[in-house]
Amino acid sequence: MKKKYAIVGVGVRGISMFVRPLVKEYQDVAELVALCDRNPLRAQVANNQLGVNLPIYTDFDEMLAKEEIDIVIVTTRDSYHHEYIVRALEHGKDVITEKPMTIDAEKCQQILDAEKRTGKKVTVTFNYRFTPYVTKIKELLKQGILGKIFSVDFHWYLDTRHGADYYRRWHAELENSGGLFVHKATHHFDLVNWLLEQEPRRVFSMAKLNFYGPNREKRGERCLTCELGEKCEFYLDLKNEPILKELYLDTEAGDGYMRDRCVFGERIDIYDTMATLVEYSGGTQLCYSLHSYTPFEGWRMGINGEKGRLELSAAETFCKKNSPNFKERVTNLVSQDPYKVAIGIDEEETSDLIRFYPLYGGVEVIEVPRVKGGHGGGDERLRNMMFRGYSEDPLGHMADSWAGAMSLLIGAAANISVKTGQPVNILDLVKKD
């Protein structure tokens, strides 16, 4: 029998990851029965784009009372996830939530308690687990390629297109997103937790806001009305970005959501330069960093074990200098090696590499073919498992609420550690039972 879904939070992610695929690709196994958003104009855009007429609610409880729903999908602003997750569970629904599951320990505890109380289930959509590259790394580690793993060094870079975009929106305020230690790094911490099959225990962190926020001369409140206009290297011309215009500028009257606020605004209180150390239950150490203003976007990871080291890296985009246009500044899926792009070799690569360095010499290179699609093909693979309900999941790709908790709590602990200057024990933050 088809499962019936409803979604709360019909923004760009809600539409692209869930609404469109449910309406267009998964009709044989799933039915989307309603949309809920505090801005009904934005939900109406989804209906218009897809040529459907799904009922639109601004009152979540009314939707749950009136519609027949098996599973609620939560894709609102991060700081509201817990409210909708708990209310859906209390109404006897299972929940699929976007990452981060929530933004701090208190809200996390509310979710864990509600799940236990109701016996219903929360699934967290960690799409990066599903990319073929990461899946291959997981397979190799499970086969014991490194033996016991002693440490991981992991560094993530966001360029000045993608990275800057977090400072234009609600993400730029800690109370909305938990900052990038939670909002963004929950992906990365989940990868490490999942690859290691260990739980984080102790976190020590440092972070600063160096590049964005009130670090430059004051500019306008938003690009639309800022005198600098195209002269600003971070100018976002909403009027000429069709997708953003339709979904955000044209619907602003509904909730006042400005999609183009200044990346140097006074309100910004999240960090852009972050470092953290994590100690794991099995003794492994993680050394992690995140920067949100680098010339290229991608990540590098080294995993060190008793039998050698795995070297992993992926570049996703590269910003071209001094071009004011939001689109022209980016090249997608460039060479794996940012050096090549920097000197002008802008070729698209068809595979990513895993390099295994055995302890005493040599190197083995494993090529993993790239696939197209959102988040390195992870989005589509996740949707297939989620909606088509494949029962086999030998590597444990699907993530439950505890996995959601373990990743977001590293970020939440990091935020505490930055403020106090002290290490934080994860198990002091939540109770499992």
Ligand X SMILES: NC(=O)c1ccc[n+]([C@@H]2O[C@H](COP(=O)([O-])OP(=O)(O)OC[C@H]3O[C@@H](n4cnc5c(N)ncnc54)[C@H](O)[C@@H]3O)[C@@H](O)[C@H]2O)c1
Q: Which residue is at the shortest CB distance from ligand X?
A: 11
> Of these, 69, 78, 387, 401, which contacts ligand X (CB under 6 A)?
78
* 308 vs 378 by CB, closer to ligand X: 378
* 248 vs 280 by CB, closer to ligand X: 248
Do the bridges between strand 308-319 and strand 330-332 make them parallel or antiparallel, or are there none, so unpaired? Answer: antiparallel
Which one of 76-84, 348-356, 412-420, 424-432 is the stretch in contact with ligand X (CB under 6 A)? 76-84
Residue 397 lies near ligand X (rule: CB under 6 A)? no
* 38 vs 291 by CB, closer to ligand X: 38
- Radius of gyration for the alpha carbons in the chain, expressed in angstroms and rounded: 21
* 209 vs 408 by CB, closer to ligand X: 408
> Of these, 18, 26, 80, 212, which contacts ligand X (CB under 6 A)?
80
DSSP 349: P
Residue 38 lies near ligand X (rule: CB under 6 A)? yes
Asked if 349 and 258 touch (Cβ cutoff 8 Å), the reply is no
Residue whose structure tokens are 């939670």: 182
* 182 vs 312 by CB, closer to ligand X: 182
Cα 346 to Cα 317, 330, 342, distances in angstroms:
11, 11, 8
User: Hey, what amino acid is at 363?
Assistant: V
- Any alpha helices (H) in 162-228, and if so which ranges? 162-168, 174-177, 179-183, 185-196
Asked if 146 and 312 touch (Cβ cutoff 8 Å), the reply is no
> Of these, 44, 76, 123, 313, which contacts ligand X (CB under 6 A)?
76
* 221 vs 252 by CB, closer to ligand X: 252
Residue 94 lies near ligand X (rule: CB under 6 A)? no
Task: Tell which positions 111-150 bind ligand X, by CB under 6 A.
Answer: 125, 127
* 87 vs 291 by CB, closer to ligand X: 87
Q: Which of 239, 220, 245 is nearest to 231 (CA)?
A: 220
CA distance 16 to 41: 17
Residues 6+ apart with CB under 8 A from 109: 430, 431
Residue 75 lies near ligand X (rule: CB under 6 A)? yes
Residue 260 lies near ligand X (rule: CB under 6 A)? no
Token digits for 136? 């291959």
Alpha carbon 29 to its chain's center: 26
Show the binding pattern over residues 365-394: x = contacts ligand X (CB under 6 A), - = does not: ----------x-------------------
Element (H, E) at 333: none
* 178 vs 305 by CB, closer to ligand X: 178
> Of these, 8, 174, 195, 312, which contacts ligand X (CB under 6 A)?
8
Residue 9 lies near ligand X (rule: CB under 6 A)? yes
Q: How far is the CB of 183 from ligand X (least distance, A)?
A: 6
Residue 14 lies near ligand X (rule: CB under 6 A)? yes
CA distance 129 to 13: 18
Q: What distance, in Å, lies between the first and last C-alpha atoms of the chain?
A: 34
Residue 99 lies near ligand X (rule: CB under 6 A)? yes
> Of these, 197, 255, 311, 400, which contacts ligand X (CB under 6 A)?
255
User: Hey, what amino acid is at 66?
Assistant: K
The residue ranges that bind ligand X (CB under 6 A) are 8-14, 37-39, 42, 75-78, 80, 98-99, 125, 127, 183, 255, 375
